[in-house]
Structure 1
């Protein structure tokens, strides 16, 4: 009895320790796997990968009713995380197009990062996409200028410029600029497009994204 109790306690402690040692977003990735098993992904979708601006766009399919969209955004993720989980978020799918929104959280997690460092993370992820999908269209949505992160705007703007230049030189690649469309008459980001956290968007913000993105969707 004592041995059984000791073994039970050991297994419980081992399970807690294992959970604590799991990398960030491990559970979100497991949830994607579970969803894929329950509902095998359709062929030739538009695959969305990135951070919470995609995660919270839960009704994205309603904005593009004539498209097949698979949303694999996981909230809080950075380009570092997309690289870390590249196999899990790319390999299970056979998309006709991939759209990326990511980069904000890299700087939010480490404000000392330089734009060229985050740009290099993007290039690394882009190379991983091209290894699996050499010819499909790949699009990058510019980092939005969230009011709550105004202190990081210079890094966002500089990183956007680097990625824009990179994408313009690549075949089957597009840079989608949503920053200008989110500005008001005064040329500044419209705060009314955001929730109270001034980071995530209201449906009105996503309506703007829809209008800007529509011409690029395959």
Structure 2
């Protein structure tokens, strides 16, 4: 009887220790962002994949900011977003998180969307990506599919979560050429993605930053005719604020 009791007690202690260790391991298992897939077939979505070393560094930094940026309005995208260094000053009184990464494409945003955006329990989301899909000769149908997948993730998280989709602004960099017809098709797909969704609205950056022939208005862009200068970000702010008001984003 004593041996039986001793064995039962010992077994219970061992089991409890194993369970505790398992719980602790699970809690401590992830202390950084999920690494980018090494094999193309392991990426979610369709189309172009772009991966550069600084992307890992960016995501590791984002991870360190997760706690203090809970409940923010999250801007996510490529270098147009990432380069908005004083984004917080553009929206005084609003908690804002910048999740832009230079060189990113729609498939990259789809991959990191859960950890970099949704895990922040955002108040709202602003998505601006697509220029690099175009410069890498990505198919607009693949882009549209990736945006649809991103919006499906939002709907699963919270069907009422406000989302702003920004059209891709014009560019004219000879090292990163884009056919006007392709940009127009991609932007048309962005507008279509918002149709029938009460929580999704369009911020039409292309309309306010392009000349009649589709070239970029010089005052908004740097010498590379690709990245924005302060006047460009000021115009972006001016253009998106009425959209925020429409969606009740404060």
Offset of 1:136 from its aligned partner?
0.9
Asked if residue 152 in structure 1 is aligned to residue 179 in structure 2, the reply is yes
> Rg bigger for which structure?
2
Corresponding position of 1:206: 233
Q: How does 1:35-114 map to 2 (within 5 A)?
A: 35-36=65-66, 40-109=67-136, 111=137, 113-114=138-139
SS in 1 for 2:201: strand
Paired residues of 2:73 and 2:125 also in contact (CA < 8 A)? yes
**TM-score, normalised via structure 2 length:** 0.71
CA-to-partner distance for each residue in 1:30-87, whole Å, 9 max, x for gaps?
Answer: 1111233xxx234432111111101000101111113111111111111110111122
Corresponding position of 2:151: 126
CA-to-partner distance for each residue in 1:1-39, whole Å, 9 max, x for gaps?
Answer: xxxxxxxxxxxxxxxxx99x6964222211111233xxx
Q: Give, in whole Å, the separation in 1 of the partners of 2:116 and 2:70.
A: 15
Offset of 1:128 from its aligned partner?
1.6
Offset of 1:91 from its aligned partner?
3.6
CA-to-partner distance for each residue in 1:137-193, whole Å, 9 max, x for gaps?
Answer: 111000111121553332121111122022022121101111121135877521232
Stretches of structure 2 that go unaligned for 5 or more consecutive residues are 1-34, 40-50
Asked if residue 117 in structure 1 is aligned to residue 147 in structure 2, the reply is no
SS in 2 for 1:77: coil
**TM-score, normalised via structure 1 length:** 0.81
Specify which of 125, 130, 138 is matched with residue 163 of structure 2: 138
Corresponding position of 1:167: 194
Corresponding position of 2:11: none
Offset of 1:121 from its aligned partner?
1.3
Range with greater deviation from structure 2 (182-191 or 83-92)? 182-191
Q: CA RMSD in A?
A: 2.3
Residues 182 and 91 of structure 1: is their aligned pair in 2 closer, same or farther, counting only changes over 3 Å?
Answer: closer
Q: Give, in whole Å, the separation in 2 of the partners of 1:185 and 1:105.
A: 22
